[in-house]
Structure formats: structure tokens, C-alpha cells
Amino acid sequence: MLELQGAQEQLLGQDAQALREALAHGTLSSRALAEACLTRITRLDPQIRAFAWIDPDYVRAQADRLDNLHKSGAPLGPLHGLPIALKDVIDTADMPTENGTPLDQGRRPTQDAAIVARLRDAGALIIGKTVTTELAFLHPGPTCNPTNVHHTPGGSSQGSAAAVAARMVPLAIGTQTGGSVTRPAAYCGVVGLKPSFAALPRRGVLLQSHSLDTLGIFAQTLGGVALVYDAVVEGKLGRMTGALTHAPTVRGAQQFGILATLPGTTPGEPAPQHPDVRAMMANVAARLGAEAIAMDLPEVFDHAALMRECINDVEMAACYAPYQAAETDTRRLSPEMHAALTRAAGHTTASYHAARAFQHDLISALEPLFARADVLVCPATPTPAPKGLGSTGSSIFNGLWTLCGTPTLTLPLYQTQDGLPLGLQLVARPGAEAILLRRAATIWQKLQ
């Protein structure tokens, strides 16, 4: 039994690309990989609590069907046999989707979300649903950080990040409206891709903010997120995988724009940063050397947090009106949700439209920076994962990029003196995922 467990541990230590190759060549079966995941979930999830729903028999039935497909000689999808977990705000026709709220307890959608249909078409094995904060907002679920279970895993895609970090599953899907992919990826120490706005289809996903909601991907490596992105990206956008194998186009020495500080919640004041975060950025700049250039964000970004909050509040109040109407017991919606819905009533129509127009001002303001650097480099979070499970931490370094619709990658390249992960965040122009991945691979190699 110990020998079998050791072999499964070794198997789940491989990245998604290596697993996909083994599955395609028949040296690994979908059933064997699924069993390895189930064994590890059984052992670890009672403490980490990353999964909201999982049915081993359902997982095994999918694996057997995929193995039979392989034996038949039929063409295999790019994700053939790879287990992938889904945040429990993504509709699935054959399992519950409860959105992290008792108001949706027992909810079973009648069809898959568009992203799920694409994953299935690509051959992925949907292993189960992961814990989300309440309605993908601020009230935490029960998930712990696998690095240190006394610390938050972040939110709102907490279960997806934790499941990948604990190697219970090689891949997972989450969503981000503020910092819900980037922050948990940074706190848990995994790679997190928040693509450009609307790069991945949102039909069938809980709608909180039609101007901000973005699907994202968690994996152990850059190759893992690229593999999933390429399998499900909208056709109009470019693919990423080739960026890891083709030589980058170099514009000169100054390829990386280093943003040592980012705005806080109060206009004109930068957000305070943990000493280890400041040390991380100093180390990044020093090791990139001549390829790095220090940059400051334009002053217009000082107002980004307030503008994003206005948009989020107003659109969430409209989207979640049915939940407000259905609630007969005020304890069924959290204090955080009630506070946001109350705050939304204070925003005028004019302030909302001004905030929407502000989005375009921000994107334009970034152009001079991207004219000098392919990507911007900054911390993913102002601190490592806070202790305790009562909050999901700060998304102040993420919401501005969600507001701009820019793609971001979180790289787990650093940690604190206490061993908590620190995430490095890379940002590119909207639609420039391939450039983002290319530069991320360079940084990964230089900083390892």
C-alpha cells in the first residue's frame, strides 16, 4: 500500500503537459490518474476542504470512457484524460452548482456552462466542484491554505487554488471579478492565469458583474495554464502554447517594466507592502538587470479601486436581486454581501457611467508603458496570506488589472522567511497572452 501511494504521489508531482503526453502515448491511463487524484483527495481534503462536491464513481466512469476512447483509436482532444476541477459557480448538468450560498442548496443546472462544454470536447475529466466564497464575493468558505492551514487560501476561487496547490488535481478553473484568481494563486503558491476580458466564454457561469467577470486557470506550471487556455479560448484570440517553444521577439534590453508600488484604496496613497514583498521586488529588479526598467503608474490609477468598486457594486446588485428577493432570513446572506448591496444603492447612475468610461481611460494610460516594455511586473498581493480564515485578504493589487481587462499571470517564485508563498504578477496588453507567457517563461528561468 505504501508503495502504491508513493507511485501515486510521484505521478501527481508531474505537470499537466507531462501527464497529457503520457495519456496520449498510452503509458498512463485516465483511470490510473483519476485514482491517484481520488486517493490524494480522500487523504488531504478532510483538512483542506477544497471540494464542494465530488463523486468517485462519477469520476471513474468518465475515466473509463476516456480510456475506451483511446483504445478505439479515435482522435484525442488536447486535454485528453486530464482531471480538472471547477469552481462551484460554473454550471454543470450532471452535478450540483450551489454558488457557495444556502439559497442555491440542491441546485442542479440543466446544461453545462460553455467553458465546461469546451473542456469536455477537449477530453478533460471533470473531477468535481471546488469551494467558492459566498456568490463569489467576500464571505469565505471553509477552505484552508495547503501551505499552512492556519492561513487563508484567498478568495473567491479558494477551492480551485488550494486543490492544485495540494496536488489533489493538476488543473482547475476559477473566476475573477476583483482578484479572485490572482490572489489565491499567490497565497497558495501556484500559477494563475487571468486572461483578457472575455477571452474565455462566460455563458453558464454565475454573473456578478458583466463588465468585470473573467474566467481563469490554475496549474502547477506555465505549460499547464497554456494547455488549458489553448483548448478553450475564443477563436478570435491567439493561442499560447507556441510561445513556450518559439523564440521571443525582442525589442531591446528594456523588456520588463518594474512597478515597485501600486495604488491603495485612498487616492494619492500607495498601498503598504510587507517587507518580504518589497524584498521580492528588489530581487526581481536586480536579477533582471538591464532587461528591467523602473516605472510608475500614471496618477489616474489612484482612482482605480474606487471606480472598480462602483462598477462591481452596481452590477452585482442588479445581478443578485433575485437572491435579495428570495431571502426571507437575513442570516442567509452574509454581512459582507449585505454591506455591498447597501453600498450599491448609494451609487448614482451618473457615477456608474463615469466609472465605466474610466475603464477606457485606464487602458489608454497604459499605452506609454507598454510602448517601453512587453509586460509590467509587480507584486500579486501586498502581503503573504493573512493568518486566519475569517477573510480572504486584499485584492488591491489585482482589481485595477481586472478593471483594465488586461491578462495577468501569477508566478510562485518566492516565499517569506516563514515559508509562505509570495506571488509575482505579470501584466500584458489586452489580447497579448502569448507575449505574457513568453516573458513569464523568461522570468521563471532567470529567477529560479
Q: What is the residue extent of each domain of the chain?
A: 2-244
406-439 exposure pattern, b = at least 16 Cβ within 10 A, e = fewer: bbbbbbbbbebeeebbbbbbbbbbbbbbbbbbbb
Distance in angstroms (rounded) separating the CA atoms of residues 408 and 428: 7
Q: What is the pLDDT of residue 240?
A: 67
Asked whether the predicted pLDDT for residue 108 surpasses 60, the reply is: yes
- Whether the CB-CB separation of 351 and 416 falls below 8 Å is answered with no
Instruction: Provide the grid cell at 19.
Output: 501527464
Asked whether the predicted pLDDT for residue 246 surpasses 80, the reply is: no
Q: Active-site residues: which are they?
A: 87, 156, 180
Asked whether the predicted pLDDT for residue 252 surpasses 90, the reply is: no
Asked whether the predicted pLDDT for residue 448 surpasses 90, the reply is: no
Query: What CA–CA distances, in Å, run from 295 to 6, 377, 399, 441?
Result: 47, 10, 19, 21
Q: What is the pLDDT of residues 64-98, one digit of tens each?
A: 999 999 999 999 999 999 999 999 999 999 999 99
Q: What is the pLDDT of residue 438?
A: 93
Question: Mean pLDDT over residues 236-258, rounded?
Answer: 59
- Whether the CB-CB separation of 181 and 158 falls below 8 Å is answered with no
Q: What is the pLDDT of residue 3?
A: 54
Coil, helix or strand for 393?
coil
Asked whether the predicted pLDDT for residue 327 surpasses 60, the reply is: yes
Asked whether the predicted pLDDT for residue 4 surpasses 80, the reply is: no
Q: What is the pLDDT of residue 241?
A: 62
CATH topology classification for 2-244: Amidase signature (AS) enzymes (3.90.1300)
The percentage of the chain sitting over the pLDDT mark of 70, rounded to a whole number, equals 94
∠ Cα 410 395 119 (to 5°): 50
- State the DSSP string of 215-244: EEEEESSHHHHHHHHHHHS-TTSPPSGGGG
**Positive or negative CA dihedral for 436, 439, 441, 446?**
negative
Band the pLDDT of 244: cuts 50, 70, 90.
low
Question: Mean pLDDT over residues 230-235, rounded?
Answer: 86
Q: What is the pLDDT of residue 257?
A: 97
Asked which of 32-36, 322-326, 369-373 is least confident by mean pLDDT, the reply is: 322-326
Question: Mean pLDDT over residues 392-414, rounded?
Answer: 97
